[in-house]
């Protein structure tokens, strides 16, 4: 199959490229050449800025295109009108949903509407803009489009560190600060599982919309910590302890969910269904999941091997130590008061 990937060198796109090569496809990448240039020297790579159009692809045709990095509908409209391909896959996001207060959101549930006053770069605009990207490709390719809505994508080469923080933190050992309790539900998908399944769907010319993350209720924060402990090569978990602290304690001290405590969205009722997305349709179409311990081990190995950089998610060791000290001081004071 002649396959065009828009992007193809960062995280999910990188895994898609590697798996497409393993599947024997004739591959072309279109990107700006700024991220990991030279990563795939044997693959035809055409450089260009998608915001300026796809003139560099004129006169060419592909069996399928996978659009990994469309963020605004104009980008999708340009790609759909200027690229000749029989099948178009758009990587979207579960953030398109309008109401996360409900459990079990499925592909047919209402999507968010963009606030006209919102800045395109604002975090609040991300989901609504992706929803408009979906609308654009449905209108342009109503019978030949596939829309994949991943949840949190994790694994090697993740530039966000939203999962990577935990394997690295557990690997350091000692007392680990964590939010609420081990029962907190999480949903995530290994980028390699997502890429493998996406390629199979493209090969089958599948169409429609699919939520793509781990099944609701399958994983908890406690499972993540167990997997991270298992992932530590040649080291037992005897020197690791997890201290769960209440949400109120964290919020009073300015610790934010998700960014500073990855995988945790907090107790906001409006987000109660964020980790309860319905993925029955994707699982029925063949989406599978490797053991979480394997994802944790591979992520840890990759993160420890690369050049050290400041993590983009989580808290610093110094901040964690301060919070743990404050927590133990608070609980000790309560015990003393109780004894009196």
Q: How many domains does the chain divide into?
A: 2
Question: CATH number for the domain including 64?
Answer: 3.40.50.720
Looking at the domain assignment, is residue 161 inside a domain?
no
Give percent of the chain above pLDDT 70.
96
Q: Is residue 88 part of a domain?
A: yes
pLDDT confidence of 136, banded at 50, 70, 90?
very high
Whether 195 is in a domain gets the answer no
Looking at residue 339, its pLDDT comes to 56
Q: Is residue 211 situated within a structural domain?
A: no
Given this model, what pLDDT does residue 121 score? Answer: 85
Q: How confident is the model at residue 336 (pLDDT cuts 50, 70, 90)?
A: low
Give per-residue pLDDT as tens, 139-149: 999 999 999 99
Residue 30's domain spans which residues? 2-150
- Ranking 76-90, 123-137, 307-321, 326-340 by mean pLDDT, the lowest is 326-340
243 and 310 part of one domain: yes
When the pLDDT of each residue in the chain is averaged and rounded to a whole number, the result is 95
Q: What is the pLDDT of residues 43-68, one digit of tens each?
A: 999 999 999 999 999 999 999 999 99
Q: What percent of the chain has pLDDT over 90?
A: 91
Q: Are residues 100 and 45 in the same domain?
A: yes
Residues 6 or more apart in contact with residue 238 via CB below 8 angstroms = none
pLDDT band at 232 (very low <50, low <70, confident <90, very high): confident
Cα 62 to chain center, whole Å? Answer: 27
Instruction: Assess if residue 234 is contained within a domain.
Output: yes
Q: Are residues 120 and 240 in the same domain?
A: no
Q: Please give the sequence-ordered ranges of beta strands (E in DSSP) within the chain, or none if there are none.
A: 2-6, 26-31, 44-47, 64-67, 88-91, 145-150, 152-154, 174-179, 185-186, 188-190, 208-212, 219-220, 240-245
157 in any annotated domain:
no
Residue 12 has pLDDT above 80, yes or no: yes
Tokens of 145: 């489009």
pLDDT of residue 98: 97
Question: 177 with 298, same domain?
Answer: yes
Would you say residue 278 lies in a domain? no
How high is the pLDDT of residue 174?
A: 95
Beta strands in 23-126 (DSSP E): 26-31, 44-47, 64-67, 88-91
Whether residue 111 is found in the same domain as residue 175: no
d(CA 82, CA 80): 6
Same structural domain, 51 and 131: yes
- How does pLDDT run across 89-105, given as a tens digit for each residue? 999 999 999 999 999 99
Q: Is residue 244 domain-shared with residue 134, that is, in the same domain? A: no
Answer for the pair 144, 293: CB distance below 8 angstroms, yes or no. no
Predicted pLDDT at 237: 62
The pLDDT score that the predictor gives to residue 236 is 60
Q: What does the pLDDT look like over 173-227, one tens digit per residue?
A: 999 999 999 999 999 999 999 999 999 999 999 999 999 999 999 999 999 999 9
């Amino acid at each position: 199959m002649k396959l065009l990937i828009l992007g193809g060198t960062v995280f999910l796109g990188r895994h898609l490229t590697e798996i497409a090569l393993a599947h024997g496809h004739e591959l072309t990448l279109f990107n700006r050449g700024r991220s990991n240039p030279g990563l795939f020297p044997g693959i035809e790579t055409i450089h260009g800025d998608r915001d300026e159009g796809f003139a560099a692809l004129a006169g060419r045709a592909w069996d399928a295109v996978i659009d990994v990095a469309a963020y605004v509908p104009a980008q999708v409209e340009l790609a759909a009108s200027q690229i000749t391909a029989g099948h178009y896959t758009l990587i979207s996001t579960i953030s398109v949903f309008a109401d996360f207060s409900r459990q079990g959101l499925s592909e047919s549930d209402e999507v968010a509407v963009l606030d006209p006053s919102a800045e395109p770069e604002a975090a609040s605009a991300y989901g609504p803009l992706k929803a408009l990207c979906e609308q654009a490709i449905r209108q342009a390719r109503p019978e030949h489009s596939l829309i994949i809505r991943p949840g949190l994508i994790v694994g090697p080469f993740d530039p966000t560190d939203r999962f990577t923080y935990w394997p690295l933190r557990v690997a350091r050992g000692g007392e680990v600060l964590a939010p609420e309790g081990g029962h907190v539900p999480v949903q995530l998908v290994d980028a390699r599982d997502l890429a493998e399944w996406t390629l199979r769907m493209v090969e089958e010319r599948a169409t429609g919309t699919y939520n793509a993350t781990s099944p609701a209720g399958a994983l908890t924060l406690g499972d993540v910590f167990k997997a991270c402990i298992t992932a530590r090569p040649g080291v037992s978990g005897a020197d690791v302890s997890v201290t769960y602290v209440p949400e109120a304690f964290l919020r009073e001290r300015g610790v934010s969910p998700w960014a500073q405590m990855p995988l945790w969205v907090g107790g906001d009722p409006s987000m109660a269904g964020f980790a309860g997305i319905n993925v029955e349709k994707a699982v029925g179409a063949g989406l599978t999941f490797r053991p979480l311990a394997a994802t944790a081990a591979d992520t840890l190995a990759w993160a420890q091997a690369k050049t050290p950089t400041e993590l983009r998610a989580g808290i610093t060791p110094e901040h964690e130590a301060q919070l743990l000290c404050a927590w133990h001081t608070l609980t000790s004071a309560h015990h003393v008061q109780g004894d009196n």
